[in-house]
Amino acid sequence: MVIEKYKRHDWSKLQEEFIEGDYETLKEFAMAKGLNYKSSQFFVSTKGWLKIKEIVRLNPRLIDTYRLCFNRLLEKMPNRFFTSDEDIWINAALTYICDKRIKGCTLKDISKWYGLNYELVKRKSSIQGWEKYRMQEKKYGFGLYEFIQNRSDDNKC
């Protein structure tokens, strides 16, 4: 009997399954998928997955954005969720705008979750009007639409 010691896993597919699945911990996920939870390969390959899952859990609308960004992942960088600085800023803005909780996330939370400089987050949110879009999203349900519409208008030549 041959034991596959160095079995190759499709970590990007496993990441998608973990994010969208009902797994509370990485250990639970590893047991369900037959992965070695204590291996260094597992540790390195799953780094940041819990944080991504926490961010996506904030608002179900982020699942669609997650799927779009996920499809752009490079195989050379399986441990990273975002492929460019622009993706990080778009997702940070979406997280802030779509958070409809009574006591929603703050700009400090956004900077901590996404690993961004707090002063840059404040400046970018002020320039792009995140607070205005967040209020529109909470009151009328179309702040996200307005934000995306304005972004597409800015990108037209």
For residues 111 and 117, is the Cβ–Cβ distance under 8 A? yes
At which of 34, 63, 83 does a domain end? 83
What Cα–Cα distance (Å) separates residue 90 from each residue in 38, 68, 95, 97, 111? 34, 12, 9, 10, 13
Tell me if the pTM is above 0.85. Answer: no
- Distance, CA of 56 to chain centre: 6
Same-domain status, 91 and 65:
no
- In the numeric block, which tokens belong to residue 82? 């975002």
Same-domain status, 64 and 105:
no
**Quick check: is 68 in a domain?**
yes
Closest by alpha carbon to 90, among 124, 59, 117?
A: 124
Same-domain status, 74 and 23:
yes
Name which of 79-83, 98-102, 110-114 the model is least confident about: 79-83
Using the 8-state DSSP alphabet, how is residue 3 labeled? -
Query: Residue 112 sits in which domain range?
Result: 84-157
| Helix, strand, coil percentages in the chain from 3-state DSSP, rounded to 5 | 65, 0, 35
Same-domain status, 114 and 69:
no
**Quick check: is 42 in a domain?**
yes
Name which of 50-54, 59-63, 126-130, 145-149 the model is least confident about: 59-63
CA pair distance 135, 148, nearest whole angstrom: 15
At which of 39, 66, 83 does a domain end? 83
Same-domain status, 96 and 157:
yes
CA pair distance 106, 58, nearest whole angstrom: 13
- In the numeric block, which tokens belong to residue 147? 């934000």
Backbone angles phi, psi at 120, to 5 degrees: -65, -40
**Quick check: is 3 in a domain?**
no
Q: For the chain, how many residues are written?
A: 157
pLDDT of residue 140: 78
What Cα–Cα distance (Å) separates residue 41 from each residue in 7, 38, 48, 68? 11, 9, 14, 26
For residues 153 and 107, is the Cβ–Cβ distance under 8 A? no
pLDDT of residue 7: 60
Q: How many domains does the chain have?
A: 2
CA pair distance 102, 27, nearest whole angstrom: 32
pLDDT of residue 27: 93
